[in-house]
């Protein structure tokens, strides 16, 4: 709901989004003050309202965690009345965000040309699986499809051992990540409009957004083609490389070797691990932390290149050192030596993390039907404001309110309800 003191207050957004990619984008803009009106089909609404429900008849967490701070307008945009309402909304709004399947908006009668005719200042922001003109542009896409199409799956996972298949990340690289890219595009178009007076179409494809995060793997492909090996990958120097970037297990993605290391209790606790990074200039502190001062001058250890052939032995030595320490104890030792590392945190631990609660990265939100729920708050922090997360709207909670704002009389609104147009 709009808060007049926030930077995006006064920006009105028609939120024609569903599932995750689009809602993540508009939720972010709502946190920062935009008036986001979520347009949903009467009776059903966003499919995530009912997907994976944990409380019967209450909006599912899938929905509540992606649609906070918004208003909900139910509207059947395939009826004449619904189209008229949408036209009025377009004339009064700044941005329309949608992530329908390819061509759905056109089929509804709202082509880009028509939207521009209604409101030349309108910014139309879209998420699709593939970009316009791509040979797969007709495909509908969900998260994991995008991870496969954008290079994440082929470069994630293991190259030997039990499961060597391409692997999907649990992080929403295809969905929320695309939404974040779109939010940047929308804000850029708003600033552009301040200069030109004109709106424009902003589009982000899920494939492109994933690929953007896999940029370093594209770096590696070109290096591999030039020199035939990748010195920071665990395959180097004992195994051979093919002609494409291999999956590297838990190896560090940049110039610093890293690995997941077992800590005390790993036999029974699936998350009793830390991630340990061997930063080049932290080598001497690492030797001090491990009680291995002799490694500081041993030519087998003094440079990254010298260490690489036995990097796994080094990791095993560190693992032995922390075998009687919990992941938190291990990190508490290494942090004193300025070593980049962290415990592998479970969702249970994150949900209860006091620091995340204090910073507003995890917030408890009161909800009319659910009671209250926890959600992930703004990961972006500002010195002059702290975005407040308010509950997601019930289906159609603000329908009449929005229609009144558009100038409809009580009788007209009643008639629209009886025709099931809203």
Query: Catalytic residue positions?
Result: 175
Closest separation between CB of residue 65 and ligand CAO, Å? Answer: 13
- Contact call for residues 79 and 41 (beta carbons, < 8 A): no
Give the residue, chosen from 6, 8, 25, 39, that forms a contact with ligand CAO under the rule CB under 6 A.
39
Give the residue, chosen from 141, 213, 263, 341, that forms a contact with ligand CAO under the rule CB under 6 A.
141
Q: 351-390 mask for ligand CAO (x: CB under 6 A)?
A: ----------------------------------------
Within 10 angstroms of residue 350's Cβ, the number of other Cβ atoms is: 12
Name the strand (E) or helix (H) holding 366.
strand 362-367
207 belongs to the binding site for ligand CAO (CB under 6 A):
no
Q: The tokens of 16 are what?
A: 């024609």
- Going 144 to 147 to 149 to 153, the CA torsion angle's sign is negative
User: What three-state secondary structure class fits 71?
Assistant: strand
For residues 33 and 179, which CB has a smaller minimum distance to ligand CAO in the complex? 179
Strand order in the sheet with 12-16: 71-74, 35-40, 12-16, 95-98, 123-128, 201-205
98 belongs to the binding site for ligand CAO (CB under 6 A):
no
Separation CA 411–CA 404 (nearest Å): 11
276 belongs to the binding site for ligand CAO (CB under 6 A):
no
Closest separation between CB of residue 52 and ligand CAO, Å? Answer: 13
Give the residue, chosen from 64, 77, 119, 378, that forms a contact with ligand CAO under the rule CB under 6 A.
77
87 belongs to the binding site for ligand CAO (CB under 6 A):
no
202 belongs to the binding site for ligand CAO (CB under 6 A):
no
140 belongs to the binding site for ligand CAO (CB under 6 A):
yes
143 belongs to the binding site for ligand CAO (CB under 6 A):
yes
Q: Where are the beta strands (DSSP E) in 147-294?
A: 201-205, 258-262, 273-277
The torsion angles phi and psi of 211, rounded to 5 degrees, stand at: -60, -35
Question: For the range 109-115, what are the long-range contacts, defined as Cβ-Cβ under 8 Å and sequence gap of 24 or more?
Answer: 109/83, 110/77, 110/86, 112/201, 115/90
Give the residue, chosen from 93, 99, 207, 279, that forms a contact with ligand CAO under the rule CB under 6 A.
99
11 belongs to the binding site for ligand CAO (CB under 6 A):
no
20 belongs to the binding site for ligand CAO (CB under 6 A):
yes
Give the residue, chosen from 32, 59, 129, 287, that forms a contact with ligand CAO under the rule CB under 6 A.
129
Q: Which stretch binds ligand CAO (CB under 6 A): 17-25, 226-234, 256-264, 340-348?
A: 17-25
For residues 82 and 252, which CB has a smaller minimum distance to ligand CAO in the complex? 82
Q: CA-CA-CA-CA torsion for 75, 79, 84, 90, nearest 10 degrees? A: 50
Closest separation between CB of residue 147 and ligand CAO, Å? Answer: 11
Q: Got the DSSP string for 133-189?
A: T-TTTT----HHHHHHHTTTGGGSS-SSSS--S----SS-TTTHHHHHHHHHHHHHH
Residues that bind ligand CAO (CB under 6 A): 19-22, 39-41, 75-78, 99-101, 104, 107-108, 127-129, 140-143, 175
């Amino acid at each position: 709901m709009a808060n007049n003191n926030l930077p995006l207050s006064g920006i009105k957004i028609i939120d024609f989004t569903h599932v995750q990619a689009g809602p993540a984008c508009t939720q972010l803009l709502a946190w920062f003050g935009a008036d986001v009106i979520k347009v949903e089909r009467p009776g059903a609404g966003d499919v995530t309202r009912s997907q994976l429900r944990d409380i019967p008849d209450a909006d599912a967490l899938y929905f509540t965690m992606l649609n906070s701070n918004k208003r909900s307008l139910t509207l059947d945009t395939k009826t004449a009345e619904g189209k008229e309402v949408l036209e009025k909304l377009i004339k009064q709004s700044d941005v329309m965000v949608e992530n329908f399947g390819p061509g759905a908006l056109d089929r509804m009668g709202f082509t880009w040309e028509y939207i521009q005719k209604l409101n030349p200042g309108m910014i139309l922001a879209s998420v699709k699986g593939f970009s316009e003109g791509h040979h797969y542009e007709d495909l509908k896409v969900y998260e994991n499809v995008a991870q496969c199409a954008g290079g994440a799956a082929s470069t994630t996972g293991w190259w030997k051992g039990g499961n060597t298949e391409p692997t999907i990340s649990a992080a929403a690289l295809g969905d929320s990540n695309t939404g974040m890219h779109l939010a940047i595009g929308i804000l850029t178009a708003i600033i552009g409009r301040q200069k030109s007076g004109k709106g424009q179409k902003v589009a982000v494809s899920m494939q492109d957004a994933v690929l953007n995060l896999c940029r370093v793997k594209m770096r590696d492909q070109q290096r591999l083609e030039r020199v035939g090996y990748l010195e920071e990958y665990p395959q180097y120097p004992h195994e051979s490389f093919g002609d494409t970037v291999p999956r590297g297990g838990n190896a560090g993605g940049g110039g610093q070797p890293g690995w997941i290391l077992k800590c005390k209790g790993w036999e029974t606790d699936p998350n009793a691990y830390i991630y340990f990074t061997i930063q080049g200039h932290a080598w001497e502190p690492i030797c001090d932390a491990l009680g291995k001062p002799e490694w500081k001058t041993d030519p087998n250890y003094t440079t990254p290149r010298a260490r690489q052939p036995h990097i796994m032995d080094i990791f095993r030595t560190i693992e032995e050192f922390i075998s009687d320490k919990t992941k938190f104890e291990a990190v508490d030792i290494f942090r004193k030596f300025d070593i980049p590392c962290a415990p592998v945190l479970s969702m249970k631990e994150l949900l209860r993390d006091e620091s995340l609660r204090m910073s507003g990265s995890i917030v408890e939100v009161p909800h009319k039907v659910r009671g209250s729920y926890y959600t992930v708050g703004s990961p972006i922090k500002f010195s002059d404001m702290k975005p407040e997360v308010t509950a997601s709207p019930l289906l159609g909670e603000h329908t009449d309110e929005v229609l009144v704002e558009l100038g409809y009389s009580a009788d007209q609104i009643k008639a629209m309800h009886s025709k099931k147009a809203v």
